[in-house]
Structure 1
């Protein structure tokens, strides 16, 4: 199965040569991408289907259609001077790390060899991790739970279903309509796991992954096979008896549901597993900040504000609800509002706006008015042109307020001492600033 790779916002030219994609495959990928929820009104929110090339946008992941697949990787600055294969491997590793943090998964990235990171696509790596975790969990036993069961028996078991007894067996009292609980492995959780195995077996093209999945499918042979649309996610209960399955449940949701977004193009048309980088970056950063500030007396909430900008005159109905990405509170009072933006800010120090859009500033001014936080931060991914990582690049005072609006960056390509760097960035009253301004954004 030919596999092609393109990075976010880059182009992949049509052709048969290295670094190109045949037009017939490009057409299928573009058609599949256009059916994604991320495609937008024009259908080009994932891929722009140009005359001479495909251009990736702000969505990453895997598209598989026909006998080919297209991998879209995020634009993360890694390993300058290395070969393209080595850089792609490093980006895959960082993307899996971001997914692990966002989904609260414990993944040992070191067990996957450097060669595997280079040769395998993101999808195959995620399938491999899932198979290894599921195999390890099944060695300890498949989770079971009591499920309600009804059966007509010659002797009493459990409780008598009086209604069924006197309607079905009114003339045959030798059979008793029993209702009882039965300890079973055929549970909603195991049906979801089987559905994930079955689906991945159709998607995977790596022989090693296919072998692992066939072995797992054999283990789940006695579990009911339920269509993905009919799976009962709401009936899954994660408690102390099956806590170790929480990560696998999250991964199954990633493969089967729209935890970030999956698309199925119909029989023979293809399947996609896509991540909008804005949403992934927000979740990743929010969870890291929550970990970094644990035990400091500060509480961190994601999408936790939801105050309205306006109130209707003729009713108490709120209008234009706000959803700040991250709120930091102390003693119940909001002290810091953080909004994440997956885009590059300007590297020019003499640019007073640092490339920040006017719409982003207006949004933060609304947060200042509603949440009364003394500090607002627009947080971007770091790139080498910004110089030092983990610093505030610019600070401005909002006109007529004591509120400070700052721009800062976080290096997603480097997780070394990440907690320390985040604590310094968000606990320090006067963090390191490359450019300090005492006026408002224009």
Structure 2
């Protein structure tokens, strides 16, 4: 069976299946593509569930979970998984919101990218990531790519550098006119530039966008005299990002993402040639934390001040790590983010009992300054859900927990931040 589509877009919790026609948001693929993705899922199932294997009355399927991004199979099919921001959000809006969230991701190269002129809806995610890399590389080239003194050995017809006696005697017993020497040359063929060129050649084969391919060809011309890397992992270990090389940091971070192919979510298997996947739970936490900081609040992410229990006075066990801790002079506010859509159709709208216990444990440990207000933060959807407030005591005193909704389509909504300023 021939490949039905070269590019497939899924939203979270929709799925792919073997077939010839899509069913709603669920996408039909050929058997080869399905088998390749299934192999990828099974080989990684012991550590992470990128997609969930299931079976219904009609067919076997692979359902997207809370990981979004790009998977490219060995046969050349690209599967793009977008976050389910709300039940009726279209792909273009989801993609734009995802890119905005990625720009706030800690320890990532996304933050400096200006999305103002990027028509995300017209480009697949992989091409957007390639564009981001090329934008950073263009900045580097405009500043000038760096040269370095590189150690070389050669059998020359003139004396240069240091004569290597042993090698000279072995090679030049007959050729008295030659000198086997060790010397240094100040050239651009340094390890950092070799890795960038290797990334460019790799992406030229991956990219399907004419504009990206054109720019890659132009940049390869600039790197024409530079060799490619033949040992990527070893060459990355040799990188020296001192003050002089600081301009290379973002470009090399991108090169590592593409060449390692698993920078954010490590994976196993040979049926997938490239995957760049992001855990929406972590991304949502980072984004909400970033926006709280942006709005002038003192925020600590994954705070590690307390343990749940102690073996003795000095040995804490069961580290507590609330997603977000906001500190005021006389109060601590604790919040946990949860990447799931609540619904009136679910018990307690979908708020889990385990989450209620977890927040209670946090609140009882943060006593100096005292914690009285805690929040569970969910993405807002089109449903008119109540922001319930729970009290952990029957007399309504002590610890309180309120369910809040963060509007990803309107992240500057001042009403949300007022809860943390009270």
Which residue of structure 2 lines up, in the alignment, with residue 346 of structure 1? 343
**Structure 1 pair 61/230, CA: closer, same or farther in 2 (3 Å)?**
same
Deviation for aligned residue 1:360? 0.8
- Aligned CA distance change for structure 1 residues 49 and 68 (closer, same or farther; 3 Å): farther
- Give the 3-state SS of the residue equivalent to 2:53 in structure 1: strand
Matched, 1:394 2:388: yes
Cross-structure match for 1:201: 204
Q: Does 1:321 align with 2:324?
A: no
Go from structure 1 to structure 2 and tell me whether the alpha carbon gap of 1:381 and 1:110 turns closer, same or farther (over 3 Å shift): same
Structure 1 partner of 2:280: 277
Task: Give the one of 70, 76, 94 matched to 1:62.
Answer: 70
Residue of 398, 405, 413 corresponding to 2:401: 405
- What is the aligned counterpart of 2:417 among 404, 407, 423? 423
Name the SS of the counterpart of 2:321 in structure 1.
coil
The equivalent residue for 2:176 is none
| 1:33–1:63 CA contact under 8 A, matched in 2 | no
Query: Per-residue displacement from partner, 1:378-406 (whole Å, max 9, x unpaired)?
Result: 11111111359xxxx12223339723222
Give distance in 2, aligned partners of 1:288 and 1:227.
40
Alignment: residue pair count: 392
Q: Is the 8 A contact 1:238 1:246 kept in 2?
A: no
1:365 to 351, 360, 364: 360
**TM-score, normalization: structure 2?**
0.77
Q: Spell out, residue by residue over 1:97-130, the C-alpha distance to the aligned partner (whole angstroms, 9 max, x if none).
A: 11112135133323123xx624x32111211222
1:260 is aligned, of 259, 264, 289, to 264
Pairs within 5 Å for 1:128-167: 128-143=131-146
Quote the Cα distance in structure 2 between the aligned partners of 1:253 and 1:91: 26
Question: 2:60: which partner in 1?
Answer: 52
SS of equivalent to 2:103:
helix
Whether the 8 Å CA contact 1:396–1:404 is kept in 2: the answer is yes
Could you tell me which residue of structure 2 aligns to residue 435 of structure 1? none
Contact 1:60/1:73 (<8 A) preserved:
yes
Instruction: Tell me what 1:108 maps to.
Output: 114
Q: In 2 relative to 1, CA 330–269 (structure 1 residues): closer, same or farther, beyond 3 Å?
A: closer
Contact kept in structure 1, 2:323 and 2:337, CA below 8 Å = yes
Q: Give SS of 1:132's match.
A: helix
CA deviation digits over 1:251-291, x for unaligned, max 9? Answer: 3444345442154633x752211111111111222222222
Query: What's the CA shift for 1:29?
Result: 1.5
Unpaired segments ≥5 residues, structure 2: 169-178
Q: What's the offset of the Cα at 1:10?
A: 1.2
CA distance, structure 2, for counterparts of residue 207 and residue 234 of structure 1 = 34
What SS does structure 2 have at the residue aligned with 1:70?
strand
| SS of structure 2 residue aligned to 1:384 | coil
Q: Which moved more, 1:317-326 or 1:224-233?
A: 224-233
Relative distance call for 1:67 and 1:319 in structure 2 (3 A) is: same
**5+ residue gaps, structure 1:** 81-86, 170-174, 430-442
Render the CA deviation track for 1:284-308: whole Å, top value 9, x for unaligned.
Answer: 2222222222xxxx53222232532
Alignment of 1:239-250 (within 5 A): 239=243, 241=244, 243-250=246-253
Q: Give the 3 Å change call, closer, same or farther, for CA 93–68 of structure 1 in structure 2.
A: same
Residues 117 and 125 in structure 1, CA contact (< 8 A), matched pair in contact too: no
Does structure 2 retain, via aligned residues, the 8 Å contact 1:105–1:247?
no
The TM-score normalised by the length of structure 1 is: 0.74
For the aligned residue pairs, the C-alpha RMSD in angstroms reads 3.9
Shift in Å, 1:61? 1.3
Mapped contact 1:3–1:69 kept (Cα < 8 A): yes
